[in-house]
Structure 1
Amino acid sequence: MTAALLAAATAGVAVGSISLPFGEVWGIVLHRLHPALAEPTWTAVRETIVMDVRLPRVLLCAVVGAGLSVSGMALQALVRNPLADPMLLGVSSGGTLGAVCVIVLNVTVFGMFSLPLAAFAGALGALALVYFLARSGGRMTTVRLVLAGVATAEVLLAVASFLIVTSDDPHKADSAMRWMLGGLAGTTWDLLWIPSTAVLLGTGVLLGVSRPLNLLLAGEEAAASLGLDVHRFRSALFVLVALMVGTIVAVSGSIGFVGLMLPHVVRLLVGADHRRALPAVALLGAGFLIAADLAARTLIAPEEIPIGILTAVVGGPFFLWLMRRRAAQ
């Protein structure tokens, strides 16, 4: 998976309107790390393309893909439901609504942190609402969870769409609409550190609680009998997942189905033990989104397809197949 991620990242940097040899891409990166590592034989323009245009975007793709995949795996364990996903449970829609409010209404109370904070608040509120609606009599069924998540997501997206169509500023409305479809164009180094920090810390915390996550797979009663405070643990991780997803949505827009598909693929490859599955799904998610972004940039070049459309085209059929497979069991 690490080798596949490196190959996808190299292709993501090398392929574009100006194609670059893979070896030259690595030479530029190594030279920037330390001049003695590679002899410069390229032009300054090519170095600018690699270091200032494509590399930040590829790295952000990796961060977003890893964060969404890890969040999806954590949610599936927390609610013990293989259909759980940040988008299907309304988490992405809540983050989207919070971010759209900042963009359209020009809210700048917290300066540069206004957008991430609004997205986090929306994601956390949506997740709490879905959990409350889906849980009845101390139990939560697959059907109730999916219905509550889909209904909440539709309502939140409708509110976000209403804010966009009633905006007085066409430029802000267009920016918000394109952002809702997901995209990573215009990524800079300054944009990387906030989501990278959130995803790295969040993944580290989840790795630290791998054992409790494994206990939840056996059921709430079994986990409680082994000393786990299920309610407190689940509440704390809901906040953590909302923080990760909200931060991701703030920089990438709404990208669906990544957190649904890749945890299932990883469980088939390495098993359900979160000590192995979490690092594996982070690597696979990072490589998958880099490849999806590369396809979004090149399929109809020079136009760019919003990446959320591509992930939906792949993830929608996967979700339907998963639903039929669950119904047949």
Structure 2
Amino acid sequence: MLLRTRQEIPSSEITSQSVMREFQRNRRQFLAGLGTMAGAAMLPRTMFAATKLNASPTKYNLGDITPQSKVTSYNNFIEFGPDKSDPERNAQSMHVRPWTIQVDGLVKQKKTIDIDTLMKLRPIEQRVYRFRCVEGWSMVVPWDGFSLGEFLKTLDPLPSAKFVQFFTLHDPKQMPGVNSSGVGPQGYSEGLRMDEAMHPLTLMTFGSYGETLANQQGAPIRIIVPWKYGFKSPKSIVRIRFVDKQPETTWNDLNAPAYGFYSNVNPSVAPWRSQERERVLGSGFLPKIVGTQPFNGYGNEVAHLYAGMDLRVNY
């Protein structure tokens, strides 16, 4: 079992002006959300229906679980809007069935896989992972899925494949913010080195809290890489491509100094804001501020992947 070392911050810092400004912003979002909830109550219940998943828990665990309501109402999904509350409001009309994933690139045989067939490939596990955003907030979520690496093996990538690239849905009709998001017509893209993708911690994710993913969380399928910043966990995946060179990725293309390709959690690197501390979502009226751990607390499991690399350069 993983152990978490807490680095609490003095109360004088917790009540600093920056934290209080953030608190006031959250309070305004909460009050605005009351109106959203009232409107949602009038919509058909089937729009928000979630299927229960039969997931068995695993040993991975790092922290106190964040309330589900917080996780499903505070999301980064720029194709549905720039604010954290936009995805919950705007993503409900996205159609997640039928859904297929195209597999191509350096692979023995190109193929198209149906999501329902994919979900039956292996038993679904529940893994409680800490999820850390480059914006300075974190949450702990019970994600449901199975090893990405085990799935990638079934695709028979060629030995020359050194990276795997993921593309997400790009549909302006369903995604009201996609044209202003900076995401190109091929869709949001992310990439991992093959050994990162094959690591046992990397999860091909179909659900959370024992239910299928909500649309705003990246339904029907996303990736979770717990030792990296959240933007390295692409949502609503429609294509997987194997390549021999480091692929272009959306955030790295848009702002490389702030969003390095590797994006391992490194508190000592602050390309656009300090990463030494984080705000724990759902931790109470005054949010808890804690010290950020290298590799998001998963260093014992993944640090060997980067032996000999300068992590201030390859952040």
CA radius of gyration, larger in? 1
TM-score when normalising by structure 1? 0.23
TM-score when normalising by structure 2? 0.24
Higher strand share: 2
**More relative contact order, 1 or 2 (CA 8 Å, 6+ apart):** 1
Higher helix share: 1
